[in-house]
Amino acid sequence: MITVGIETSCDETSIGIVENSRILVNLVASQEKIHAKFGGIVPELASRAHLEKIVPLFNEGLKRCKILPYQIDAFGVTNTPGLKGSLLVGNAFAHGLAYALSKPIYNINHLYAHIAACFIEKKISFPCLGLVISGGQPNVFLLKDYTKFVQLGKTRDDACGEAFDKVGRMLNLPFPGGIHVEKIALRGCEDKIKFPVSYVKNSLDFSFSGIKTAVYYYILKHGLKEAPNIAAAFQKAVVDSIILKIEDALKLYQVEHFLFGGGVIRNNYLRKKIEKKLKEKNVEPVMARPDLCMDNGAKVAILTQYLIREKDCPDPYEIVVIPTK
């Protein structure tokens, strides 16, 4: 069974082609260079770049895995959450193709797809917990099976990746800042400066706006002389607050597996801290591969495979939507 996943929710145009659980191609056209000079994503420029890239990327994908359009069994397209104009480009393209080829199309929640990137790592025991930490979201989920997601927690204000990117900007690092903050933190000492560790009580929600403000005022007072120490202390405070929520989730739900996806999960410091904490709790972490943590079509195509397995025979151009809780 061949599924094509189409992803245009933010600043990456991507086509992933998956046969059963094997990724045949996962092409990503990143817009990092376009947005870098603005220090953040400019939605209108993002939509225009998707429009330019999506058709050549799809054709290139078919060429690389030597398949013809009629051999595709179904399409999956990210349809929420994301930048509206960007989503519109991917959805118009995907729905047009599915209609023309008389193939079913699955409207895929971007956050569920981040978790689905873990499904190819190993056989998952359900129920399990899932945590997405990306540029736009932190979200805790309970998964009843591969396609049944219940949201348990979200951010009360800013996203975690956004905090990394804004702090990167305060430290004069290139956009997107996450990876650069991690790099300079390696040269710093995490205990020289103390930033507050945010913790939302009696809830699995997160909050990341306070830490941004704390870093801002620290830099205003002390300047950038100690940039590696600031990066290390910021990273520690953010990761400590994530670990506290993981512990809270594990107090509420007994699980064998805890799944992790989203761009910030590429951070090695975070990955190591998660692994250590889960080892203590006797829970196995299942983390998306670093190349599947960022926005990409393969994870959309993987989730589409699982949806099809649930429903034997979708009708031609049937639009299937997973209810969002």
Judged by the rule CB under 6 A, the positions of this chain that interact with ligand KG4 are: 10, 134-136, 161, 164-165, 176-179, 182, 262-264, 266-267, 294-295
Burial classification of residue 20, based on how many CB atoms lie within 10 Å of its CB (0-12 exposed, 13-18 middle, 19 or more buried) = exposed
Query: Which of 248, 295 has the CB closer to ligand KG4?
Result: 295
Least CB distance from residue 187 to ligand KG4, whole Å? 15
Parallel, antiparallel, or unpaired: how do β-strands 105-109 and 319-321 relate? parallel
Query: Which of 10, 18 has the CB closer to ligand KG4?
Result: 10
Query: Which of 179, 322 has the CB closer to ligand KG4?
Result: 179
Query: Which of 165, 190 has the CB closer to ligand KG4?
Result: 165
Quote the distance between the C-alpha of residue 134 and its chain's center. 5
Query: Dihedral through CA 117, CA 12, CA 325, CA 18, nearest 10?
Result: -40
> Which residue has 């905090």 as its token pair?
163
Query: Which of 190, 295 has the CB closer to ligand KG4?
Result: 295
Least CB distance from residue 295 to ligand KG4, whole Å? 4
Query: Which of 165, 248 has the CB closer to ligand KG4?
Result: 165
Query: Which of 30, 67 has the CB closer to ligand KG4?
Result: 30
Residue nearest to ligand KG4 (CB): 263
Query: Which of 101, 179 has the CB closer to ligand KG4?
Result: 179
Least CB distance from residue 263 to ligand KG4, whole Å? 2
Least CB distance from residue 165 to ligand KG4, whole Å? 5
What angle (nearest 5°) sits at the alpha carbon of residue 118, between those of residues 112 and 87?
A: 35
Residue 15 is classified by DSSP as: E
Least CB distance from residue 163 to ligand KG4, whole Å? 8
Task: Catalogue the E-assigned strands of the chain.
Answer: 2-7, 12-19, 22-30, 74-80, 105-109, 128-133, 138-145, 148-153, 257-261, 284-287, 319-321
Q: Which amino acid is at 150?
A: V
> Which residue has 């929420």 as its token pair?
80
Candidates 216, 114, 200, 113; CA nearest to 157 is 200
Least CB distance from residue 8 to ligand KG4, whole Å? 12
**What is the distance between the alpha carbons of residues 116 and 121, in angstroms, rounded to a whole number?**
10
Least CB distance from residue 276 to ligand KG4, whole Å? 17
Query: Dihedral through CA 214, CA 249, CA 176, CA 179, nearest 10?
Result: 90
> Which residue has 């990273």 as its token pair?
235
Parallel, antiparallel, or unpaired: how do β-strands 138-145 and 22-30 relate? unpaired
Query: Which of 187, 309 has the CB closer to ligand KG4?
Result: 187
> Which residue has 């994530």 as its token pair?
242
Least CB distance from residue 254 to ligand KG4, whole Å? 28
Omega of the bond prior to 43 within 30 degrees of 0, cis? Answer: no
Residue 155 is classified by DSSP as: B
Least CB distance from residue 324 to ligand KG4, whole Å? 16
